[in-house]
């Protein structure tokens, strides 16, 4: 029984890996296609490895400049973050002074503060000091916005480090700076690596703040440049049709086929939900997990019935009906 479960888990993990990797593979293969190949069969492999799309994106779409700006912003933001977060976390983890608990509490509370909440005041303040379209200023904003999470995480790592190492180093004459750099930093490498990796990915992918604080095309980062490229290409003759539109055109040419699409989607949802819950619970509870299948099927059928009831109601709304039949 244990061997069967092991092989089931392996097969399931391989299946999930294929499911997650297929979109990346399809995206890569599609990058080598010509426009004619897109319109002929968007799911087929390219006839040849055509690099013209990469050259056009790198040169004509200014991707090279966006890429360089993103690298600069990510590296500088990460360096600024570590320069401030490591000593602050060490002080809050090892020293007790008036207001230390309050500072830690404030940092914890600020974890829930998103950049979009203060975007307008931040824009006005930076506009007043000529801080817009300035990549170093954007890096400083990025670093400060990551302070709460990184300090909370790294403070927990440093608090778990035994004080014996620091006391031994202090007996040998180490200063506070040496304790931080030569004792605490090496011992807290897992925590530092964690916040570095998570923060760098966040800096690289950040979009809302960069969109508001960078208005000059030469200063834009890669996410903004890619978003602008998508908007331009959406209405360009190069694309021809959106991939989602291809699927919609095939299954939704009339009202009957739309009902078929709703039914098909509901049945697939029922199978995935009921089967998915059963597979997950099977490895936890064994064959007794089958008891949950009827309840999941009933839940899925209920959702399908609600979909059939809501569909004509939604289609009776003029705006929704106009949007639905817009492509006909």
pLDDT score for 256: 53
Q: Is residue 56 part of a domain?
A: no
Instruction: Choose one of 234, 268, 294: the last residue of a domain.
Output: 234
Boundary of a domain, candidates 234, 253, 272: 234
- Using the 3D structure, point to which of 26, 50, 74 is the last residue of a domain: 50
Predicted pLDDT at 247: 39
Q: Check residue 246 and give its pLDDT.
A: 39
- 252 shares a domain with 211: no
The tens-digit pLDDT sequence of the chain (328 residues) is: 668 778 888 888 888 888 888 877 877 787 787 777 777 777 778 887 777 777 777 776 677 888 889 999 999 999 999 999 999 999 999 888 888 888 888 888 888 777 777 888 888 888 898 888 999 999 999 999 999 999 989 998 898 888 888 888 888 888 888 888 889 999 988 889 989 998 998 899 888 889 889 888 888 898 887 777 666 555 554 443 333 333 334 444 445 555 665 666 666 666 666 666 666 555 555 566 566 666 667 666 766 676 666 566 555 655 545 545 544 4
Beta carbons of 153 and 195 less than 8 angstroms apart: yes
* Judgement on whether residues 153 and 67 belong to the same structural domain of the protein: yes
Same domain, 71 and 219: yes
pLDDT at residue number 281: 57
Residues 167 and 313 in one domain: no
Is residue 268 located within the same domain as residue 184?
no
Number of domains in the chain: 3
Cα→Cα distances 203→131, 140, 208, 313, Å: 18, 11, 11, 44
Nearest of 307, 244, 245, 311 to residue 270 by alpha carbon: 307
Other residues' Cβ atoms within 10 Å of the Cβ of residue 8: 13
Domain co-membership, 125 together with 208:
yes
Residue 165: domain span: 63-234
Q: 150 and 199 in contact (C-beta within 8 Å)?
A: yes
Q: Do 179 and 287 fall into the same domain?
A: no
The pLDDT value recorded for residue 150 is 92
Residue 248: predicted pLDDT:
38
Give the pLDDT score at 51.
77
Whether 81 and 146 have beta carbons less than 8 Å apart is answered as: yes
Q: Is 189 exposed, middle or buried (0-12, 13-18, 19+ CB in 10 A)?
A: exposed
Report helix, strand or coil for 279. Answer: helix
Residue 55 lies in a domain: no
End-to-end CA distance of the chain: 55
């Amino acid at each position: 029984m244990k061997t069967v479960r092991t092989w089931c888990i392996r097969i399931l993990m391989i299946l999930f890996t294929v499911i997650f990797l297929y979109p990346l593979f399809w995206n890569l293969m599609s990058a080598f296609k010509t426009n004619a190949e897109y319109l002929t069969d968007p799911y087929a492999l390219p006839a040849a490895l055509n690099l013209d799309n990469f050259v056009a994106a790198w040169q004509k779409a200014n991707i090279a400049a966006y890429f360089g700006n993103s690298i600069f912003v990510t590296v500088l933001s990460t360096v600024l973050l570590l320069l401030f977060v490591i000593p602050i976390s060490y002080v809050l983890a090892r020293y007790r002074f008036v207001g230390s608990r309050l500072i830690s509490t404030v940092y914890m509370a600020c974890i829930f503060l998103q950049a979009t909440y203060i975007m307008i005041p931040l824009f006005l303040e930076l506009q007043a000091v000529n801080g817009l379209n300035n990549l170093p200023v954007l890096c400083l904003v990025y670093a400060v916005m990551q302070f709460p999470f990184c300090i909370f995480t790294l403070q927990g790592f440093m608090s778990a480090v035994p004080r014996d190492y620091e006391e031994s180093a202090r007996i040998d004459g180490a200063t506070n700076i040496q304790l931080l750099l030569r004792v605490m930093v090496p011992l807290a490498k897992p925590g530092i690596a964690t916040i570095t990796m998570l923060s760098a990915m966040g800096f690289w992918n950040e979009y809302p703040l960069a969109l508001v604080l960078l208005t000059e095309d030469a200063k834009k980062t890669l996410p903004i440049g890619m978003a602008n490229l998508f908007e331009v290409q959406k209405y360009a003759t190069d694309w021809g049709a959106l991939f989602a539109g291809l699927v919609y055109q095939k299954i939704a040419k009339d009202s009957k086929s739309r009902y078929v699409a709703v039914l098909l989607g509901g049945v697939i949802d029922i199978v995935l939900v009921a089967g998915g819950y059963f597979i997950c619970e099977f490895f936890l509870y064994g064959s007794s997990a089958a008891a949950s299948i009827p309840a999941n099927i009933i839940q899925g059928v209920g959702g399908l019935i609600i979909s059939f009831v809501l569909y004509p109601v939604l289609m009776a709304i003029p705006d929704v009906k106009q949007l639905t039949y817009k492509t006909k």
